[in-house]
Amino acid sequence: MGQAVLEFLTGEGALARVGIALLLGGLLFLVKYGIDHGWINEVVRVALAAVAGGILLTLGHRMSRSRILSQVLIGGGVGALYMAVFSAHVFYGLIPLGVAIGLASIVSLVCLG
């Protein structure tokens, strides 16, 4: 088990995983700046997360030749979509629980396809 974790952190694709984390972190700071200045409301926040997730998923599928980059992009996209659904329900109350569960299920089905 320890060897697998070490390989994940230092092996092939580690730099890509760090890169996607930095990209998403930078985008989060940009959105936070917009929120602090009153430029972005709750609906726009959720929409931005969903659009970012869709873009990352699309890029991931188009980059299928590069297996590691594709997996990292798709993982980032799925995470962004899950966070959009979670935020819409838990933080902002924009959607009811049943809709949130349905949307999260759709995201999961997209991951399988």
- Is pLDDT of 20 > 80? no
Cβ 96 vs Cβ 89: under 8 Å: yes
Q: Which two tokens stand for residue 35?
A: 């929120």
Q: Please name the residues in contact with 78: beta carbons below 8 A apart, sequence gap of 6 or more.
A: 53, 57, 107, 110, 111
Residue 5 confidence class, pLDDT cut points 50, 70, 90: low
Cβ 93 vs Cβ 43: under 8 Å: no
pLDDT (tens digit per residue) in 77-109:
999 999 999 999 999 999 999 999 999 999 999
Cβ 78 vs Cβ 105: under 8 Å: no
Higher pLDDT, 19 or 5: 19
Q: What is the pLDDT of residue 1?
A: 60
- What is the identity of the amino acid at 79? G
Higher pLDDT, 28 or 113: 28
